[in-house]
């Protein structure tokens, strides 16, 4: 069939460019390899020139592929499956852009794009290291290109092409019976609702820049082993190392902020495998920074540096494997499923495991090492210990995260214990103590040897200040996290001291050590930020409090109260609810954006009347064929705490009609009627009652029935009214919202008997079920992150200046 109206040219160009990028990066790899190995200088130069051109062609192709995909998405060419599957007409430009990286193909492309940019920068700056370093980067670039190739080699699928057509994806869909189908695809499948968020625009590009940048220090290390210039690169690569670690850290933390602000995982970190998979390489890179600094100053720890680099980068690729191959689909909420290319990602991983490890083992003995031991009073000794602790902590995390992989390899069926978070926290709390203490004191040692006296003199004041602050926090801060016993609580207090010590000691060192010269104090500033992060994490987690405790629900009493649910509070519209120090009232809701987003207004009023504010958590209708909603939290920010809330249920979100109907009964005074949760007794009937619902005078004819409602745990009353207005019977039903019970008087049968109707339904009154959590001092974590990155940036600039 000849289809009309398709725009096939951009796709053909795009597909050609993908192939071109693969070929160009292979050419670049070979040319750079030759340039790094041939002896003849003239020949090496011409190889290098070829390598540069080939790599530039590759970088250009990838950028052009990127632009073409954006062009297709921007113009809503739904004949392309990628466009159809990841975007729709309603998206604004920034979300159209982020549609590119919703799918696997686009995120690989983003990665390759940053490799291209970084490669071009290295051509300018790397000098004699350019050829060997670029060999590795071109190799990685070639592998990534194969991931978006989308061709079959015999029966083996090589990558997924972003340019495949919708009719190729679903050849037997009925719509493709029509030659003009293009005009009949109403709209695309859209971008996942959860991802329609400005963080989706920022977080992936930065995270992938971090991922891409980590190849540079790795490539330098490989170059050092390969060219047997073992220590020649450790100074020149420092700015790159700092840059990649900082950006990767920023990417991870932006993900944490995103999770905290809008994904309602109930916090910023959940030890989810996907989070862990990017944290672990970061930790090892941080360890590598420190051993490399040790080497630059003393000549120790070069071997450890090599080991760390190679492992850190292997873990970067491993995290790609974990998240994209489907290996984690039973343990992570984020992981992609297998798209038929998991064999390829595995191969990708082995390509980065076998050659580097082989090279490392072969050259290990040749790497220079100082036989004399580090002095106990030297900076390098404690820096090495700190790096080792960080490294082991990372290995623990990745080990626990890899259980699904271990299960596949060994045929076991193990899983992390019931309390996933605690299984990490109880180990990492001790890591925090050790790292905190080491980060605090290590700068006060000098390289090689330190006079004991000077050390004690300098560290005395910061130590005293830290002890005072930490004791104040422990005593007055009411950190009383007893859930896991006294031992864990003691560890928390110790960790608080260690992290306060880190902040104070490093802050003081800017004056004690650097005499206030901020230009060189990048490391101290990073450490201050890191310490603040630890303080923020410790306090916000251990003092995190669920405010919406539902103690009213009868199920929540008794010894099992803590285990059975109590975190959600049901609020009926307009009824103030007692919630700790607040009265909470669900006041109103509003729907915007064609019903896509629904806001719920919850007023929180301090019982002492000092403050009233409104939280507006919302729910957003899902896209992409999913029904239902996703919740989006809202927080009230204070300088020292956040009040964080999200809606989990509402009558407005329940599907279907309310099917409950009124059932009629006749009742005399003293009669009892039964309902699902108890019984109702008609106590008395009052003529012309005084009630707030309506004014009745002496001339009116009105009666009110007073019922008592007995449920298992309490007695309530309900008072429906019946009256005549201009001779017409009218009724005012009464409702007990908490029991979902409504009663009305239908008529008076005789002067003894009333006909009443009773309805039981949970849908009678607008309600929401919401969760409100208090996170104290969460801002310390964000500020700490910022300060740490600032320190990284300062160190980087300082070292770039040193190089010149």
- Chain positions 151 to 190 lying near another protein, rule: CB under 8 A, are 166, 169-170, 173-175, 184-187, 189
Among 171, 411, 417, 487, binds another protein (CB under 8 A): 417
Minimum CB–partner distance for residue 358 and another protein (Å): 25
The residue among 337 and 592 lying less far from another protein, judged by its C-beta, is: 337
For the bound state, the minimum distance from the C-beta of residue 163 to another protein, rounded and expressed in Å, comes to: 16
Query: Which of 550, 573, 632, 779 touches another protein (CB under 8 A)?
Result: 550
Q: Of these, 64, 765, 790, 800, which contacts another protein (CB under 8 A)?
A: 765
Q: Hey, which residues between 259 and 298 contact another protein (CB under 8 A)?
A: 266, 270
- Tell me the CA distances in angstroms from 43 to 36, 46, 48, 136, 146, one per residue in order: 10, 5, 9, 20, 30
Euclidean distance between CA atoms 640 and 377, whole angstroms: 39
The reply on whether position 622 binds another protein by CB under 8 A is yes
Q: Is 53 in the site for another protein (CB under 8 A)?
A: no
**Closest-CA residue to 315 (of 354, 360, 352):** 352
**Which of 422, 401, 400, 418 lies closest to 491, judged by CA?**
422
Using CA atoms, how far residue 750 sits from 39, 109, 354, 510, 670, in Å, is 116, 82, 94, 92, 15
Residue 22 falls in which region: left (phi positive, over 0), alpha (psi -120 to 50) or beta: alpha
Report the nearest approach of another protein to the CB of residue 147 (Å): 16
Backbone φ, ψ for residue 247 (5° rounding):
-70, -40
* Residue 554 C-beta: closest distance to another protein, Å: 9
- Whether the CB-CB separation of 337 and 325 falls below 8 Å is answered with no
Q: What CA–CA distance (Å, rounded) separates 62 from 17?
A: 7
682 sits in which H/E element:
strand 678-687
- Distance separating alpha carbons of residues 741 and 722, to the nearest angstrom: 18
Is residue 337 a contact point for another protein (CB under 8 A)?
yes
Contact between 381 and another protein (CB under 8 A)?
Answer: yes
Instruction: Write the secondary structure of 209-231 as one string of H (helix), E (strand) and C (coil).
Output: HHHHHCHHHHHHHHHHHHCCCCC
From candidates 11, 14, 103, 210, binder to another protein by CB under 8 A:
103
Nearer to another protein, 46 or 556 (CB): 556
Residue 716 lies near another protein (rule: CB under 8 A): no
Structure tokens at 452: 């004991």
Task: Please give the residues from 186 up to 225 whose contact with another protein meets the rule CB under 8 A.
Answer: 186-187, 189, 192, 194
Q: Using CB under 8 A, which of 368, 574, 628, 729 touches another protein?
A: 628
Choice from 50, 64, 427, 790 touching another protein (CB under 8 A): 427
Q: Note whether 469 binds another protein by CB under 8 A.
A: no
From 472-480, 509-517, 649-657, 790-798, span contacting another protein (CB under 8 A): 649-657
Strand, helix or coil for residue 86 = helix
DSSP β-bridge partners for residue 687: 703
Residue 483 CB, nearest approach to another protein (Å): 12
Q: Does 383 bind another protein (CB under 8 A)?
A: no
Size of interface with another protein, in residues (CB under 8 A): 84
Name residues contacting another protein, limited to 650-669 (CB under 8 A).
650-651, 653
Q: Tell me the window of 13-21, 31-39, 278-286, 370-378 that interacts with another protein (CB under 8 A).
A: 370-378
- CA dihedral 697→702→703→709, nearest 10 degrees, is -90
Q: Judged by CB under 8 A, which stretch of 459-467, 487-495, 588-596, 648-656 contacts another protein? A: 648-656
* Distance of closest approach, residue 276 Cβ to another protein, in angstroms: 14
Pick the piece of the chain touching another protein (CB under 8 A) from 8-16, 196-204, 243-251, 629-637.
Answer: 629-637
Residues 6+ apart with CB under 8 A from 352: 140, 313, 314, 317
Count Cβ atoms within 10 A of the Cβ of residue 475 and give its class: 0-12 exposed, 13-18 middle, 19 or more buried. Answer: exposed
**Cβ nearer to another protein, comparing 648 with 779:** 648
Rounded to the nearest whole angstrom, what is the least distance from the CB of residue 186 to another protein in the complex?
5
By CB under 8 A, tell whether 573 contacts another protein.
Answer: no
DSSP conformation letters of 607-648: TTSS-EEEE--EEEE--TT--SEEEE-EEEE-SSEEEEEEEE
Which CB, 9 or 186, lies closer to another protein? 186
Can you tell me which of 129, 218, 233, 336 binds another protein, judged by CB under 8 A? 336
Based on CB atoms, which residue is closest to another protein, 138 or 450? 450
> Please, what is the minimum distance in Å from the beta carbon of residue 448 to another protein?
15
- List binders of another protein among 316-335 (CB under 8 A): 329-335
780: nearest Cα among 275, 273, 431, 268: 268
Burial 708-722 (b: 16+ CB within 10 A, else e): ebebeeeeeebbbbb
Axis-axis angle for helices 130-147, 104-125 (nearest 10):
170
Interface with another protein, residue 446, by CB under 8 A: no
**Residues facing residue 210 across a β-bridge:** none
**Helix/strand/coil for 591:** strand
Cβ 184 to another protein shortest distance, Å: 5
Contact 216, 192 (CB under 8 A): no
Residue number with CB closer to another protein (333 or 687)? 333
- Kindly state the tokens that stand for 695: 């004014």
Residue 125 Cβ vs another protein, minimum distance, rounded to whole Å: 36
Instruction: Note whether 396 binds another protein by CB under 8 A.
Output: yes
């Amino acid at each position: 069939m000849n289809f009309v109206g398709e725009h096939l040219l951009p796709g053909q160009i795009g597909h050609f460019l993908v192939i071109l990028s693969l070929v160009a990066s292979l050419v670049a790899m070979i040319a750079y390899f030759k340039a790094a190995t041939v002896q003849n200088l003239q020949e090496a130069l011409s190889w290098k020139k070829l390598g540069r051109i080939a790599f530039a062609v590759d970088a250009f192709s990838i950028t052009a592929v990127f632009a073409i995909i954006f062009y297709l998405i921007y113009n809503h060419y739904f004949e392309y499956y990628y466009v159809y599957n990841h975007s729709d007409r309603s998206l604004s430009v920034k979300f159209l852009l982020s549609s590119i990286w919703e799918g696997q193909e686009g995120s690989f492309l983003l990665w390759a794009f940053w490799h291209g940019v970084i490669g071009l920068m290295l051509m300018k700056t790397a000098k004699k290291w350019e050829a060997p370093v670029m060999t590795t980067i071109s190799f990685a670039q070639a592998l990534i290109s194969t991931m978006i190739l989308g061709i079959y080699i015999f029966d083996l699928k090589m990558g997924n092409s972003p340019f495949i057509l919708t009719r190729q994806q679903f050849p037997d869909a009925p719509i493709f019976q029509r030659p003009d189908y293009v005009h009949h695809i109403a709209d695309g499948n859209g971008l996942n609702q959860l991802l329609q968020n400005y963080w989706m625009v920022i977080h992936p590009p930065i995270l992938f820049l971090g991922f891409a940048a980590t190849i540079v220090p790795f490539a330098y290390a490989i170059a050092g082993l390969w060219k047997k210039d073992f220590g020649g690169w450790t100074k020149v690569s420092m700015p790159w190392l700092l840059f990649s670690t900082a950006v990767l850290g920023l990417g991870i933390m932006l993900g944490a902020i995103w999770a905290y602000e809008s994904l309602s995982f109930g916090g910023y970190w959940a030890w989810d495998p996907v989070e862990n998979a990017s944290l672990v390489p970061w930790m090892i890179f941080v360890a590598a920074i420190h051993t490399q600094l040790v080497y630059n100053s003393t000549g120790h720890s070069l071997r450890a540096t090599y080991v760390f680099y190679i492992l850190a980068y292997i873990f970067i690729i491993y995290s790609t494997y974990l998240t994209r191959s489907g290996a984690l689909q039973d343990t992570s909420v984020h992981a992609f499923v297998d798209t038929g290319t998991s064999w390829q990602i595995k191969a990708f991983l082995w390509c980065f495991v076998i050659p580097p490890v082989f090279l490392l083992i072969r050259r290990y003995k040749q790497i220079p090492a100082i036989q004399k031991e580090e002095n106990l009073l030297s900076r390098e000794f404690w820096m090495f210990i700190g790096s080792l602790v960080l490294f082991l902590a990372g290995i623990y995390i990745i080990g626990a995260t890899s259980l699904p992989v271990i299960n596949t390899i060994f045929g076991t069926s193990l899983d992390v214990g019931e309390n996933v978070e605690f299984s990490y926290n109880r180990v990492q709390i001790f890591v925090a103590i050790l790292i905190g203490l080491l980060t605090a004191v290590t700068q006060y040692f000098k390289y090689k040897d330190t006079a004991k006296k000077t050390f004690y003199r300098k560290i005395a004041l910061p130590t005293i200040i830290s002890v005072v602050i930490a004791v104040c926090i422990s005593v007055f801060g009411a950190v009383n996290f007893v859930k896991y016993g006294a031992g864990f609580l003691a560890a928390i207090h110790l960790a608080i001291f260690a992290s306060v010590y880190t902040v104070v000691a490093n802050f003081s060192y800017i004056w004690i050590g650097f005499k206030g010269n901020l230009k060189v104090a990048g490391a101290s500033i990073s450490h201050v930020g890191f310490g603040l992060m630890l303080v923020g994490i410790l306090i916000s987690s251990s003092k995190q409090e669920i405010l919406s405790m539902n103690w009213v629900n009868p199920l929540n009493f008794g010894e099992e109260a803590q285990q059975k649910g109590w975190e959600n509070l049901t609020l009926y519209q307009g009824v103030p609810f007692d919630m700790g120090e607040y009265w909470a009232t669900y006041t109103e809701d509003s729907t915007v954006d064609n019903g896509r987003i629904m806001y719920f207004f919850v007023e929180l009023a301090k019982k002492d009347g000092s403050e009233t504010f409104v939280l507006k958590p919302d729910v957003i209708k899902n896209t992409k064929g999913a029904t239902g909603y996703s919740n989006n939290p809202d927080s009230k920010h204070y300088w020292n705490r956040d009040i964080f809330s999200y809606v989990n249920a509402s009558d407005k979100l329940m599907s279907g009609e309310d099917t409950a109907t009124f059932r009629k009964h006749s009742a005399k005074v003293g009669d009892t009627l039964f309902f699902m949760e108890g019984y109702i007794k008609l106590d008395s009937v009052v003529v012309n009652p005084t009630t707030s619902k309506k004014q009745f005078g002496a001339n009116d004819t009105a009666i009110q029935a007073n019922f008592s409602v007995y449920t298992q745990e309490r007695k309530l009353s309900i008072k429906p009214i019946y009256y005549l207005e201009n001779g017409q019977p009218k009724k005012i039903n009464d409702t007990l919202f908490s029991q979902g019970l409504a009663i009305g008087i239908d008529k008076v049968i005789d002067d003894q008997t009333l006909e009443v109707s009773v309805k039981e339904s949970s849908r009678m009154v607008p309600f929401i079920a919401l969760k409100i959590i208090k996170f104290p001092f969460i801002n310390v974590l964000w500020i700490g992150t910022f300060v740490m990155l600032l320190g990284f940036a300062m160190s980087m600039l300082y070292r770039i200046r040193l190089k010149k």
